[in-house]
Amino acid sequence: MEKKDLLCVGMALVDSIIKGFDPTPVSASGFRAESGSLNAGGEAVNEAVAAAKLGLNTGILCSLGNDGAGDLVNAVLEKNRVDTSFVVRSDARPTPVTTMFVNEDGTRKSITNRSHRFDFPLEEYREILQSAKAVSFASLFRAPFDDPARIEKVVRIIHDAGGLIFADTKLPNFRKNTLDDLKESLPDVDYIFPNEDEARYYSGKEDPREMAEVFLSYGVKNVIVKLGGKGCFFKNATEEILLPACEIVPIDATGAGDNFIAGFIAAKLQGCGGKPYEKAPATDEEALRFANGCGAACTTAVGAHAGLKNREQVLNLAAGLNPKRNT
């Protein structure tokens, strides 16, 4: 099996995005909105599409139903040159659909349903999990990464093959786990990416530095707290970096964190140059700058995939950032 740069593993779904919702009814049961659209989504899909646009040889391991929503997601993946050979289609597991309400400032709220709670036996796909230099868990604490025993098995499979493990996090929606529940798996995670709300929830802390220290205490090697419009905070055992966000007027923040992660992974594997493989893998500081540019690019259009175009766009957005660094 060809060794890929990145394998994205996790949730694939359709986002029904409603922008500019007006709560004033126009009839007994009717409302209006500025726009409505159907978009392929889910953290694994968003990361895979962004990584492929940035030049990574990217595959995805996910479950889709044999339904119209699954067809939509699969078509988007193929259009963006993500390898769909590992997509599992099933009559038993319908493709989840999320309804998202996007506000004028780009923030949003989402509605999930029971189709988001599914049993996908990832540990049965050993050869696929070992087929990439890096594997991204998208996202930890939600299906299919909400079963501690399953997570431990998957981590061991990847670790035994020498793969890097990147893990996004999400707030729990059906099954609730804590860092203690994952204590056997966290030491094998190379980079973890909670946003500020998630880091607060799992650490019980308010300050990003203290949040990161809690994750590090569980053995995670590197912690990146995504701070939205305030940028990001990085910490490991020897270094910490606070990086401001790119100055941009956001249209829709859907998928910005996923694009950020894809950008960070792309930079760590292939550098931050305008073309893949033109320079050595990036330092953490360089990768954070590049990731910030990817997250900013994502917010320039509705949906998780339309905003980010290519490396040149990202480099233009990321130019001029001055991190505050402590060692």
Containing domain of residue 162, as a range? 4-9+110-326
Q: For 253, phi and psi rounded to 5 degrees?
A: -85, 5
- Per cent of the chain over pLDDT 70 is 95
Indicate the length of the chain as a whole number.
Answer: 327
Q: pTM for the whole thing?
A: 0.89
| pLDDT tens digits along 41-75 | 999 999 999 999 999 999 999 999 999 999 999 99
In a domain, 25, yes or no: no
Residue 321 pLDDT exceeds 50: no
Residue 32 resides in a domain: no
Asked if residue 13 lies in contact with residue 143, where contact means CB atoms within 8 angstroms, the answer is no
The string of pLDDT tens digits covering residues 190-246 is 999 999 999 999 999 999 999 999 999 999 999 999 999 899 999 999 999 999 998
pLDDT at position 274: 63
293 lies in a domain? yes
CATH code where residue 117 lies: 3.40.1190.20
Asked whether residue 134 is assigned to any structural domain, the reply reads yes
pLDDT of 324 higher than 60? no
Residue 217 CB partners (closer than 8 Å, separation 6+): none
105-146 pLDDT, tens digit each: 767 788 887 777 777 899 999 999 999 999 999 989 998 999
289 lies in a domain?
yes
> Nearest Cα to 305, choosing from 82, 20, 99, 64?
82
Q: Answer yes or no: is 22 within a domain.
A: no
Residue 172, in any domain of the structure: yes
Q: What is the pLDDT of residue 91?
A: 92
The answer as to whether 280 is a domain residue is: yes
pLDDT range class, residue 1, cuts 50, 70, 90: low
Give CA–CA dist 302/35, Å, rounded: 10
The residue among 84, 31, 95, 96 whose CA lies nearest residue 60 is 84
Domain count across the chain: 1
